[in-house]
Structure 1
């Protein structure tokens, strides 16, 4: 009995460690077909396009916030920056940029590569 409880406790600790990992880091395919790399920088994460028309351009920063991420996102076509948020479900990263205090938002789904 004690052995089962010990194994169950160890499994819970291991699962908790995995849940705390930041899965936002890595390469993501944008809806436009470009590849964006999200990597740690400062106290959060930087988003940089590494392929496509705007390759080399940093287009945002995010920081962990609750169960998702918040920060800024820049439209690489016109260089306008918006308040942004992101959430991950499986291999899908939902990115949103908003204006007017969140009244008007536009979202995209990016796929993990």
Structure 2
């Protein structure tokens, strides 16, 4: 009986761990943006937020690489983004700090590069982010 319990535990633990690993998504992590119009780069942390993904501004850096403080640090950059399969993500909303508007995000993951596009009506912007 004791052996049966141990084997059952190992089987359940293995299935649970496998499911957790299968749920990991390659978009999750910390990403470095391209320089913006103020020549600042940011580090963006992407996490799972329920059944979707969200991104938060962790830190910002000037052209020399020195960390700078901005009022945007700690703010959500995007939310409710979902996987569309084949490395594509979309839906949700994307906040564009420089012009203070919300846009519809589209992201494409290619290796360690995340191509990020955001459009508000007919105005679109794009960047390539690099995994840190």
- Which TM-score tier does this pair reach, normalised by the shorter chain? 0.7 to 0.9
Give 1:73-92 correspondences, 5 Å limit: 73-92=94-113
- 3-state SS in 2 of match to 1:78: coil
Q: Give me the whole-angstrom Cα distance separating, in 1, the residues matched to 2:126 and 2:23.
A: 25
Runs of 4+ deviating beyond 6 Å = none
- CA drift of 1:25 comes to 0.3
- CA drift of 1:42 comes to 1.7
Where structure 1 has 5 or more consecutive residues not aligned to the other structure, the ranges are 1-17
- CA drift of 1:105 comes to 2.1
Where structure 2 has 5 or more consecutive residues not aligned to the other structure, the ranges are 1-20, 36-40, 61-69
Q: Give me the whole-angstrom Cα distance separating, in 2, the residues matched to 1:23 and 1:66.
A: 11
Report the structure number with the largest CA radius of gyration.
2
- 3-state SS in 2 of match to 1:86: strand
Q: Which residue of 2 aligns with 1:43?
A: 51
Give the aligned length. Answer: 94
Tell me how large the CA RMSD over aligned residues is: 1.9
TM superposition score normalised by structure 1: 0.74
On the 8 A contact 1:30/1:110 being kept in 2, the answer is yes
On the 8 A contact 1:57/1:76 being kept in 2, the answer is no
On the 8 A contact 2:102/2:120 being kept in 1, the answer is no
Q: Which residue of 2 aligns with 1:28?
A: 31
Q: Which residue of 1 aligns with 2:124?
A: 105
